[in-house]
Copies of this chain bind each other. A is one copy, B any other.
Amino acid sequence: MAKELKELTNRDENYSQWYNDLVVKAGLAEYSAVRGCMVIKPYGYAIWENMHDALDKMFKDTGHENAYFPLFIPKSFFSREASHVEGFAKECAVVTHYRLMNDPDGKGVVVDPDAKLEEELIVRPTSETIIWNTYKGWIHSYRDLPILVNQWANVVRWEMRTRLFLRTAEFLWQEGHTAHETRQEAYDETVKMIGVYRDFAEKFMGVPVVIGRKTANERFAGAEETLTIEALMQDGKALQSGTSHFLGQNFARAFDVQFTNRSNELDYVWASSWGVSTRLIGALIMAHSDNNGLVLPPRLAPLHAVLIPIYKGEEERVAASARLQELAGELRARGLKVKIDDRDNVRSGFKFAEYELKGVPVRLALGPRDMAAGTIELARRDTLTKEIVPQEGLAERVAGLMDEIQNSIFERALAYRDEHITKVDSWDEFVRVLDEKGGFVSAHWDGTTETELAIKEATKATIRCIPLSGADVPAGLGEAAAEIPAGLGGEDEPGACVMTGKPSERRVLFARSY
């Protein structure tokens, strides 16, 4: 077995260490010399590019355009929206000076005390403030609305405890910021975009998600309502994977953005914002991967298939590689991203392990017997199964397998998720399920922040969301592929709070989370 694999921590022994090992050894990312900041390596970045391309197309298909706003935000902007400042302006990178000078003592460079900014600049943790300050100049009449803008950018939040992809001081994301004439239109946009995120998570990442509302306590700082998609990882913890916020008129009021409406009256503009980040790469890894390494869904995999010659001696190597070149050409003609690995300085077993580690969906190995028989060995990464198949029709077979693997990965994650939504009606059971089984716990809650915090204090579990139920599902959200199974919390059903026994209108989903 290859060296890398030996060093990959067992997933069942230490999930957290397994995750970190995997990210580093599969060449996705590593920590940098700057505290809490990561380097996204080419293989990891290629996954982000695939996510970017798929999402960007979905945003454009729903009428959005991209734009770019400044990295820096004047400190005073944060104070304009009362709850926003509490949520975002505290742990942040502050630019105070704009020049260095040679150290008078001759030791490198030091900050030039004369180059102090009059007002400090904050490296954006999110861009509502600078964008709404800009929108003030763009919006005068209802004819200027809606504005449907998205930004791809880096943001910085000074996190104390960081984990690659899941929580880093700097991360990459997209943030949509839309402006509307009416409350309804802004709310519809909020709903539409959480639906886009769900579709992306399920169809591209192969990760089933629950859509729901955040409680007041977990809401975005400055929002009237936050919708979220919540995914379940293989260790039973939930991961918030994307959020869409209905901002009401809060930012329009804070930045005095008024418009003349169709009744020729001045009104404040209605807003939404929504975002997903490189955190999704963490979700992707933790939802599917195993002790052999990454398992990547074909629709986001940087490489669909790797072709490896098996040989003894130069003659066999040349012959097998030549045939693989032909087969690779046929695969590429089908739109598949493939690579031939005919390195002569490592054994084929090492290569097999390496591509398992990297999660390449299909491995094709061609040996002397295959050369004679017109066959090839095809191995699937998701099931770790292999079979001998004819070379003829290989491209069609592999192309078809991509859909099958994509689907199989999703179905497996869905089955795991559905097995891990547990209906609970007593406090003892609540605690026991969290400790012994994990996953989502569907339980009644009395609706108060006080109880929510008490439960968190007692169990480390938080309310991941209040799932949208039948009557509750806003128009435009469509059908989810991964609805919560009936009876597990996706519908209204009165009961008594699992902690206080007070009345509850419906179940909510609790979980421990990342």
Whether A65 lies near B38 (C-beta < 8 A) is no
Asked if A72 is at the interface of the complex by the 8 Å CB criterion, the answer is: yes
Indicate whether A109 sits within 8 Å of B85 (C-beta atoms), given known contacts A34-B72, A69-B32: yes
Q: Which residues of B contact A74 (CB under 8 A)?
A: 33-34
Does residue A137 face the partner (Cβ distance < 8 Å to B)?
Answer: yes
A92 at the binding interface (Cβ < 8 Å): yes
Give the residue of B32, B72, B79, B143 whose beta carbon is less than 8 angstroms from that of A93.
B72
Q: In the assembly, what is the distance between CA of A67 and CA of B43, in Å?
A: 8
Q: Answer whether residue A345 sits at the interface, using C-beta atoms and an 8 A cutoff.
A: yes
Could you tell me if A100 and B94 are in contact, using CB atoms closer than 8 angstroms?
Answer: yes
Contact of A46 among B45, B66, B133, B143 (CB under 8 A): B66
Does A99 sit at the interface, judged by CB under 8 A? yes
Known contacts A39-B69, A70-B37, A170-B71; is-contact A96 B99 (Cβ 8 Å): no
Say whether B66 contacts A156, CB under 8 Å: no
Q: How many copies does the complex hold?
A: 2
Give the residues in chain B near A69, CB-CB below 8 Å. 32, 39
From A38, A93, A137, A158, residue with most partner B Cβ within 10 Å: A93
Most buried by B among A48, A71, A121: A71
> Could you say which residues of chain B place their CB within 8 Å of the CB of A101?
90
CB of A399 within 8 Å of the partner chain? no
Q: Does A453 reach chain B (CB closer than 8 Å)?
A: no
A440 CB to closest chain B CB (Å) equals: 33
Q: Which residues does chain B contribute within 8 Å of A120, judged by CB atoms?
A: 111
| B130 A34 Cβ-Cβ under 8 A | yes
Q: Are A134 and B93 in contact (CB under 8 A)?
A: no
Does A40 lie within 8 Å of B68, measured CB to CB?
A: yes
Contact across chains for B45 and A66 when beta carbons are under 8 A apart: yes
Interface size on A, residues (CB 8 A): 63
B38 with A70: CB separation less than 8 A: yes
Instruction: Digitize A54-77: 1 where CB-to-B-CB distance is under 8 Å, 0 elsewhere.
Output: 000000000001111111111111
Interface residues of A in 159-202 (CB under 8 A from B): 170, 172
Counting CB contacts under 8 A, is A149 at the interface? yes
Contact for A134 among B32, B66, B123, B156, CB less than 8 A:
B32
Please name the residue on chain B nearest to A137 by beta carbon. B30
Closest Cβ neighbor of A42 among chain B residues: B65
A33→B33 CA distance, assembly (Å): 32
A11 at the binding interface (Cβ < 8 Å)? no
Chain B residues in 8 Å Cβ range of A76: 108
Beyond A94-B95, A100-B94, A123-B95, whether A72 also contacts B42 by CB under 8 A is no
What is the CB-to-nearest-CB distance from A496 to chain B, in angstroms, rounded to a whole number? 40
CA distance A80 to B153 in the complex (A): 29
In the complex, A97 has a CB within 8 A of chain B: yes
Instruction: Compute how far the CA of A32 lies from the CA of B74 in the bound complex, rounded to whole angstroms.
Output: 11
A78 at the interface (CB under 8 A from B): yes
Contact B73 A34 (CB under 8 A): yes
User: Which listed residue, B37, B73, B92, B137, touches A72 by the CB 8 Å rule?
Assistant: B37
The answer to whether the Cβ of A98 comes within 8 Å of any Cβ in the partner chain is yes
A89 at the interface (CB under 8 A from B): yes
Q: How far is the CA of A32 from the CA of B129 in the complex (A)?
A: 12
A149 / chain B contacts, CB cutoff of 8 Å:
42
Instruction: List chain B residues, Cβ under 8 A from A158.
Output: 98-99
Asked whether A170 lies within 8 Å of B37 as measured between CB atoms, the reply is no
Instruction: Please measure, in the bound complex, the distance between the C-alpha atom of A33 and the C-alpha atom of B153, giving whole angstroms.
Output: 18
Q: What is the chain B residue whose CB lies nearest that of A70?
A: B37
Given the interface contacts A30-B137, A32-B130, A170-B71, does A65 sit within 8 Å of B39 by beta carbon? no
Q: A93-B72, A154-B71 are in contact. Are A33 and B65 (CB under 8 A)?
A: no
Residue among A33, A79, A134 with the highest chain B CB neighbour number at 10 A: A33
Query: What 0/1 readout, one digit per residue, does chain A (99-139) give for beta carbons within 8 Å of chain B?
Result: 11100000011010000000011110000001001100100
In the complex, besides A94-B99, A153-B154, 8 extra interface pairs with C-beta distance below 8 angstroms are: A32-B69, A33-B130, A34-B121, A45-B67, A91-B99, A93-B97, A95-B95, A100-B122
30 A-B pairs within 8 Å (CB atoms) are namely A32-B134, A34-B72, A37-B70, A37-B71, A37-B72, A38-B70, A39-B70, A40-B67, A40-B68, A41-B67, A42-B149, A45-B65, A68-B172, A71-B123, A71-B170, A78-B100, A78-B108, A79-B108, A79-B109, A91-B99, A92-B98, A92-B99, A93-B98, A94-B95, A94-B100, A95-B95, A95-B123, A96-B97, A98-B158, A111-B120
Closest 10 CB pairs of A and B: A79-B108, A42-B65, A37-B70, A40-B68, A94-B97, A98-B158, A96-B96, A34-B70, A93-B95, A32-B70
User: Which A residues form the contact surface with B (CB < 8 A)?
Assistant: 30, 32-34, 37-42, 45-46, 48-49, 65-79, 85, 89-101, 108-109, 111, 120-123, 130, 133-134, 137, 143, 149, 153-154, 156, 158, 170, 172, 345
